[in-house]
Amino acid sequence: MAEEQITLAEAKKEIGPLRQQLIQWGKEYYEQDNPSVEDYVYDRQYQRLVELEARFPELVTPDSPTQRVGGQTDTQLAKVTHDIPMLSMGDVFSVEELHAFNERQQSNLLDTAPIEYDLELKIDGLSLSLVYENGRLIQASTRGNGVIGEDITANAMTIKDIPHQLPEPLSLEFRGECYMPKESFVKLNAEREANGQPVFANPRNAAAGSLRQLDPQVTARRNLATFMYYVPEYEKLGVTTQEEALQRMRDLGFNVNPHNQTVHSEKELAEYIGEYTAQRDQLAYGIDGIVEKVNDLHLQTKLGNTVKVPRWEIAYKFPPEEQATVVREIVWTV
Ligand code: NAD
């Protein structure tokens, strides 16, 4: 593709309002749980910002949405510091882009055998951290800005699939996604409409609004659920691959999504994407893409992170038309 002709002055003029717009949409989405635009609109403008900043690195600012994990914390909820930051995730929007990402990753790891990937569904909810001490749940928090999150321990205690006590005396943090099943979302919005309250834009925002409540009894009534998928200090679990980490979490009593798959070729990768792109409407919860993770946990550590995202995982996001269809279908079919 021919490189766009744009001068530094033109880029400067475009980038200021673009960044402000994205910051504003970020506030609506992360802090107010009430987005005014569809995700694909946000994603398109975000990609434009990435492009401009790549062309003119001197225009990158520390407060740019490309340099920070989205979201601040609600002032009314107590704060929690994440000793290991909770990061965002890079994304691609086509299978071709995903192949290109994999090729770059493989060539950066010259001495490594072909990379094995663990594929998972990208659950459309919000990140959740659960901390256990001697096997007992002592703290639950949101991602917030990645370093400071919100304490939602009392709320998490009301979510039925979160174990309060593990079968082993582990002192460890587990991370995953909190989500609202499609059926609960439709029911909740119908109730809100009947009561003259504003409805939630989508299950993700309904989950975020329900988990970040001051009154845990409200959370308890909202029928939230979780899928856990990450153990930052995996060595303490005695596992060496993401696949094993997921299985260990299942054995400990966490809810772990059953659809993960380890793949060894681009063909298997494309098949998985095809399968879940076709099946997504039939699932009882929303997904907005596929997450590809390097399966070897030591290799993950070797690849490390940027300021904002891990280098060992990437999200393949579903095309926008389907996104819109899914929301329409939830409303019509449930
Ligand atoms: P993200 O939500 O796109 O991806 C990262 C998150 O995916 C992780 O933090 C994790 O919580 C989640 N996830 C779900 N399943 C997972 C799995 N199996 N393994 C690992 N992680 C999993 O990134 P983000 O930084 O939270 O948000 C950026 C996205 O939010 C944008 O791409 C955009 O779509 C949306 N957004 C929309 C608006 C709007 O106005 N509509 C505004 C801001 C952001």
Domain residue limits, the chain: 8-59, 79-333
Average pLDDT estimate for 257-262: 98
Looking at the domain 8-59, which fold is it?
Answer: Helix Hairpins (1.10.287)
Read off the tokens for 200: 């939630």
Better pLDDT: 111 or 87: 87
- pLDDT of residue 241 exceeding 70, the answer is yes
CATH architecture, range 79-333: 2-Layer Sandwich (3.30)
Measured CA to CA, the distance from residue 329 to residue 334 in angstroms comes to 8
Closest by CA position to 188, among listed 201, 176, 171, 178: 201
pLDDT of residue 70: 81
Stated pTM of the model? 0.92
Q: Which residues line ligand 1 (CB under 6 A)?
A: 25-26, 28-29, 35, 37-39, 42-43, 70, 88-89, 91, 120, 122-123, 127, 177, 229, 291, 315
Dist. CA 88 → ligand 1 center (Å) = 7
Residue 255 vs residues 125, 238, 281: alpha-carbon distances, Å: 14, 20, 21
Closest by CA position to 233, among listed 143, 331, 132: 132
- From 24, 88, 204, the mutation candidate for ligand 1 (largest count of ligand atoms within 8 A of CB) is 88
pLDDT band at 141 (very low <50, low <70, confident <90, very high): very high
Q: What ipTM does this complex have? A: 0.96
Dist. CA 167 → ligand 1 center (Å) = 31
pLDDT of residue 333: 36
- For ligand 1, atom 34, the nearest C-alpha belongs to 39
